[in-house]
Amino acid sequence: MQLVMFPLPANIYTEIGAFLTSVICWNHIKSSRLRWLVPFLFLIVFVELSGRYIRKELHEPNAWLYNISIPFEYMFYVFLFVPFYNKKIGKSASQFFLIAFPIWVVLNIVFVQGFYNFNTNFLKIGSFCMIFFCFLVFLELLLSEEMINPFKQPIFWIASGLFIFNAGEFSYNTFADTMMKKWSYGKSLFGQINNNLIFVLYISIIIGITSSIWGQKEKK
């Protein structure tokens, strides 16, 4: 039996590539918070493949899967940034986000948009928050009195990828509701924009993981 979900689009291959890179570089990331990238990226690949399987093979809606995974992604990236924040604003904002965001997501699912509809509200808030938290990472980099080579900072690469990803998605997310309801071409455009930005994001993560090796070599 031939599965119609194959061949996979390029963005899923970059996600698989990022997961494999994190496994290969395990020795270099195991002592930092980056070690959580291994289970996280595994989960991302699993969600992407499952989502595709549900839609292409079972012909069932898969929005519920992304309603769970996307908020989790936002929270994971903030969790990854927390140790990098030295300024009070970064620490407080990230702690607040990690507590308040999941509560708000649950409330939104239960009372506003439902579990089986694609939740666009947390996309809007999430994208905006990601841009804000990436900006805080950049601010830490700018204001640090230590010698920091951004190219050798995994967090810089991850934040850059995330910044571009969310900046790119921001305009779409703002119009998402209108497009989904009134315009069938909207989904396809969303898919194109999203896939290209996913490609950029996971390439940045791959570079970020690899940069941890350069950074460690330089320290030695």
Partner 1 sequence: MGPKGEEIKVTIIYLTLGFILFALFIILFIIIYRLRLNHHLKEKLAMEMHFKQAILQTQIEIQEQTLKTISQEIHDNIGQVLSLAKLNLNTLLPNETEKLNDTKQLVSKAINDLRDLSRSLHGDRIAELGLQDSIANELKILQNTGQFQTKLYIVGESYKLEPQKEMVIFRIMQEAVNNVVKHAKAGHIDIRILYREDIFDLSIADDGVGFNKDTISPEKTGIGLHSMQNRAALIGAELTINSIAGNGTEINLKLKRA
Residues that bind partner 1 (CB under 8 A): 135, 138, 141-142, 145-151, 160, 163-164, 167-172, 175, 178-179, 182-183, 185, 189, 193
Nearer to partner 1, 105 or 162 (CB): 162
Q: How far is the CB of 172 from partner 1 (least distance, A)?
A: 6
Rounded to a whole number of angstroms, the minimum distance from the CB of residue 211 to partner 1 is 13
Q: How many CB atoms lie within 10 A of CB 172?
A: 18
| CB 167, min distance to partner 1, A | 4
Q: Of 70 and 167, which has the nearer Cβ to partner 1?
A: 167
Cis peptide before 7 (omega within 30 of 0): yes
- 54-57 long-range contacts, CB within 8 A, separation 24+: 56/3, 56/4, 56/5, 57/3, 57/4, 57/5
Listed as own residue / partner, the contacts of 17-23 with beta carbons closer than 8 Å and 24 or more positions apart are: 17/202, 17/206, 18/44, 18/202, 18/205, 18/206, 18/209, 19/44, 19/45, 21/205, 21/206, 21/209, 21/210, 22/209
For residue 102, the minimal CB distance to partner 1 (Å) is: 26
Residue placing its CB nearer to partner 1 in the complex, 62 or 120:
120
Closest distance to partner 1 from the beta carbon of 213 (Å): 20
Cβ(60)–Cβ(54) under 8 Å?
yes
Closer to partner 1 by Cβ: residue 50 or 188:
188
Nearer to partner 1, 67 or 153 (CB): 153
